[in-house]
Structure 1
Amino acid sequence: MAEVINRYASIDLFMPEDSHRVIREHVGANQPFSRQVDAWWIAFCLGIRDNQTRPLPDRRTKFMDGTILSSDPWRIIHLELIALGLRGEEILTHPRDVVQLATEHANYGLELLVDALTGQNEPTLAMMNFLDPTTA
């Protein structure tokens, strides 16, 4: 298999400060997410699913840089395929624009995740139910 090049390694990944506070509480052992990037990725997918975006607010938190994408190279491929489908071939020559596109979709999805997690006694179960299409 060919090596996947991470053109996003030097680009910071952000989420809204308010969302980050909630997501950070739900990352780790016995939590819905193993890593913050996992929550961000699910949020990105929710934004894509619903074709919704939210701009990154001024009050933001850097939770990682793009090097994290190298730990799961399929994310890079997925990210680029979505960017290609939404914006065309030109966007792939501008890695910061690809990350901005992902971030804006993730910001929408983060709103949904935060709503699903807030005030839950069993956040992992709440997240599983929220993401299960048969319960919608």
Structure 2
Amino acid sequence: MDNIFAQYQIEMPKVYQEKIKTYVSTGGNAESRENTPFDRQVDFWYMALCLAFKEGLTPTKEKDTYNAITAEILSRNSYRVTQMQMIALAATNDPSVLLEPKKMLDVCIGLANAGIPMLLNILADTEATPLWNIYYELENLTS
């Protein structure tokens, strides 16, 4: 499957940049998997997107962002491209959005922006480690 988002950037709010990196193992972070449950920033971003969609959050447009990575990385997990198309379609309730890859990505970025604070709160809960906090949250979402 072609990655229709490959030419675009995945942008994330600068205000959360350093906090996000504490939960990501790339970039030489020597923390244990318990404390850094995500391999890459794109994995953190995708979890924020999925949480926001599941919770019905309103997409948020951020002005002060950084380019976390090119969306070409989604080619490594191509199922995400299809899921993002479905999320954009459901979020907009407009089939014509499927003709506009940038618009679909913008919808997903907006949802992820809305989900990032929620995900950071889940990870920061002191009841357990970040990895277990995510596990418990996912378990609650499915029940």
Please, what TM-score do these two structures have when normalized by structure 2? 0.82
- 1:10-60 Cα distance to aligned partner (Å, 9 max, x none): 111011112222111111162211111111111111111111124232221
Which sections of structure 2, spanning at least 5 residues, go unmatched?
A: 26-31
Question: What residue number does 2:136 align with?
Answer: 129
Task: Give the AA of the match of 1:50.
Answer: E
Question: What residue number does 2:45 align with?
Answer: 40
Matched, 1:26 2:7: no
After superposition, where does 1:93-112 map in structure 2 within 5 Å?
93-112=99-118
Q: How well do the aligned residues superpose, as a CA RMSD in angstroms?
A: 2.1
Q: Helix, strand or coil for the counterpart of 1:132?
A: helix
In 2: Cα distance, 1:53 partner to 1:11 partner: 22
Asked if the contact 1:22–1:118 (Cα under 8 Å) also holds between the matched residues in 2, the reply is no
In 2: Cα distance, 1:78 partner to 1:67 partner: 15
Q: How many residues align?
A: 133
Q: Alpha-carbon deviation of 1:80?
A: 1.0
Change (3 A) 1:61 1:110: same
Task: Give the AA of the match of 2:61.
Answer: L
In 2: Cα distance, 1:36 partner to 1:62 partner: 11
Asked if the contact 1:48–1:105 (Cα under 8 Å) also holds between the matched residues in 2, the reply is yes
Q: Which deviates the most, 16-25 or 84-93?
A: 84-93
Question: What residue number does 2:12 align with?
Answer: 15
